[in-house]
Structure 1
Amino acid sequence: MGVLSNMIDREQLKPGDHIYSWRRGYIYAHHGIYVGDGNVVHFTRGGEEIGTGTVFDRLLSSSVPSCPDSPCEQCGDQSALNGVIESCLDCFLSGNDLYIFCYSVSLAFFISKVRGGTCTFASSDPAADVIHRARYLLRHGFGAYDLFKNNCEDFAIYCKTGLLVTTSYSVGRSGQWGCIVSAASAIAGSPLRFLSSSFGGLAVVTSGIYCLNRVVSDIGIRRDVAKLPVEELVLSSGSAAGEAESLFRRIVA
C-alpha cells in the first residue's frame, strides 16, 4: 500500500480493518469491516445496491454476489439479502482486488487521494471496539440503506470511529459522495471560476476548490458529528441510522 494505491494482499489483513473493493470498473466501491477468520461484515441492499428511483439505479448493481447456480459453500446465495450481513472474503470481493481504507492520514496524503472514499482524517478506535460495533449491528441492523446518507461506507466508518452525522440536511459520512458533491460545487458553484480566462488557470482554481471542499466535508473535520455507543444508538433511535439529529440534541442538552 502507498500513496498511489491502497491495494493490499490478504496476508496483510488484520481484524478490525476497514476494507473495500471497486465495482463496475472503478465507478464505485463497496466497503466492509474485516472481522477475522476470513469473514467480512458489510451493509448492502439485495437485488440493487441503491434503489433511489434515480438514474443511478441503472448504473449500479448489488454488492452481494449473485450465484444461485453455484453458491458459495460457506455463505450460500446471499444475492437477495438486505442490511448488515457477514460474508467470506471471496464473496465480499466478488472477484475484485482488495483495498484498505486509511485513517488518521495527513493533509498531504488526503489531497493526494484525488478519489474520495479511500481515507479520512478521523482516527480509528481499537480493533476490539470496531469488531464489537460491526457484530452488534449484524444482529440489530443499521437502518434502511440509502445511497446518499446511509450506505456501506457510512456503515464501515461508523464501525471504525463511532461517529454519526447529526444533521438531517447533509450527506452522510461517505467520502465517495463527499467527492461527488465537492466536484459539483467546484465546477458549478464557485464565482472564482470567472476570474481566470485561461484553461490552465480555470483548472487550478477548480482543483483548489475541489480539494478544499473535500477537506472540510471529511468526517474527521466536520462538526456536525457525535460519537455514540452502538448500544445507545440502536436503543435510542430504533435503528442505527434514524433520528440522529434529535438524538444528538438530547445528548448535548
Structure 2
Amino acid sequence: MGLLSNRIDKSSLKAGDHIYSWRTAYIYAHHGIYVGDNTVVHFTRHGQEVGTGTVLDLLLVSSGPARSHVPCATCTPSSRDGHGVQSSCLDCFLAGGVLYRFEYGVNPTLFIAKARGGTCSLAVPDPDEEAVRRANHLLRNGFGCYNVFKNNCEDFAIYCKTGLLAVGQSGQAVSIIGGPLAAVLSTPMRLVTTNIYGMAITAVGVYCASRYAADIGVRRDAVKVSVEDLTGQLSTSVSFHAAVEPTVPALPPTS
C-alpha cells in the first residue's frame, strides 16, 4: 500500500477486493466489493451516494462538477423504490473515476499517516471468498436503509470483508466532519497557548484520534455477525442498529 495513494490498475484486481472511487471533488468515495467477472456489488442510495437528507447534501453535491457518465444497458440501476445493494460492471461503478483498493490489517503508524479517512483499516479481513459470498448474499437480500453516517457504502464493503458491524460513524464520515470538529475541540487550547502552530497540532491530534477510535478494527462495540443472521433480522423489520447490538441477558429478579 502506498503512503499517499491506494490507486491500482484494473489488471491487479482479484475477487474479494474492497475497492472505491472518489466522487464530488474528492470529498466522498463510493465503495464496493469486486466479485470477479468485471462485476462490483455495492450499496447505493439510488445513485446519490452522498445523500444525507440534510443540508450536507447541497455541500457535497455542489462541491464538484456533475458526472456525465451514462450507465451501460447491462448495469442500468434498478427502478425499484428505496435503497439497495446493486451489481454493476466495473466501469459503471467507477463512473469515470479512478480505481483504488481499500487496505486492511495496516499498522497504527501507517493508519495515522494516511491523512484521509475511509481508505484503510486496522481490522484483519476474512478470506476473499467469504467477502464475495457475503456480497452476493446481500445482493439478494439487502443491507437495510442507507444512511451516510451510520449505514453507507463503506460500511457495506467493510462488513463484507470482516463480518464486523458497529453502530456509529464510518471512517469517511469522520473524515468529512472530523476537520471542523477537531477545530472546535481544539478551541479551549487557546486558554493555554496562543501559538497558531500549537493549535494546529492540537487540531490534527484530535482528528487523528477520532479516526483511530472510529475504526472498526479497534471499536469495542464492533460485533461479528453472520450474513444470514443479519439479513434474517432485517427481513423481520428489525432496524439495522438493533441487528448489530449485542444481546444483553436479563438480570435475575431480586427478592
- Shorter-chain TM-score tier: 0.7 to 0.9
| Structure 1 CA distance for aligned equivalents of residues 8 and 183 of structure 2 | 33
TM-score under structure 2 normalisation? 0.86
Q: 1:36 to 1:251 in 2, by over 3 A?
A: farther
3-state secondary structure, aligned to 1:102? coil
Question: Gaps (5+ residues) in structure 2?
Answer: 251-255
Give a deviation string over 1:189-209, Cα, whole Å, max 9, x none.
243353221111111111112
Q: Which residue in 1 is equivalent to 2:174?
A: 178
Computing the radius of gyration from Cα coordinates, the structure with the larger value is 2
Pairing 1:211–2:208 present? yes
* Contact 2:19-2:101 within 8 A present in 1 as well: yes
Q: Which residue in 2 is equivalent to 1:143?
A: 144
Question: Letter of the aligned partner of 1:153 in structure 2?
Answer: E
Q: CA deviation at 1:47?
A: 5.1
Q: 1:182 to 1:194 in 2, by over 3 A?
A: farther
Q: 1:236 to 1:15 in 2, by over 3 A?
A: same
Give a deviation string over 1:212-242, Cα, whole Å, max 9, x none.
1211121111111110000011113427982
Question: Letter of the aligned partner of 1:96 in structure 2?
Answer: G
Q: Which residue in 2 is equivalent to 1:197?
A: 194
Q: Which residue in 1 is equivalent to 2:14?
A: 14
3-state secondary structure, aligned to 2:52? coil
* Contact 1:65-1:91 within 8 A present in 2 as well: no
Q: Which residue in 2 is equivalent to 1:156?
A: 157
Question: Letter of the aligned partner of 1:30 in structure 2?
Answer: H
* Contact 1:143-1:241 within 8 A present in 2 as well: no
Q: 1:239 to 1:103 in 2, by over 3 A?
A: farther
Q: CA deviation at 1:132?
A: 0.6
| Count of aligned residue pairs for this structure pair | 243
| Structure 1 CA distance for aligned equivalents of residues 67 and 142 of structure 2 | 17
Q: 1:91 to 1:252 in 2, by over 3 A?
A: farther
Query: Cα RMSD (Å) of the superposition?
Result: 2.5
TM-score under structure 1 normalisation? 0.87
Q: CA deviation at 1:137?
A: 0.2
* Contact 1:7-1:99 within 8 A present in 2 as well: yes
Question: Letter of the aligned partner of 1:224 in structure 2?
Answer: D
* Contact 2:44-2:146 within 8 A present in 1 as well: yes
Question: Gaps (5+ residues) in structure 1?
Answer: none
Q: Which residue in 2 is equivalent to 1:42?
A: 42
3-state secondary structure, aligned to 1:136? helix
3-state secondary structure, aligned to 1:30? strand
1:24-103 to structure 2, matched below 5 A, reads 24-46=24-46, 48-60=48-60, 67=70, 71-75=71-75, 77-78=76-77, 80=79, 82-103=83-104
Q: CA deviation at 1:46?
A: 1.1
* Contact 1:19-1:32 within 8 A present in 2 as well: yes
* Identity, % of aligned positions: 52
Question: Letter of the aligned partner of 1:78 in structure 2?
Answer: P
| Structure 2 CA distance for aligned equivalents of residues 104 and 217 of structure 1 | 15
3-state secondary structure, aligned to 1:16? coil
Q: 1:182 to 1:47 in 2, by over 3 A?
A: closer
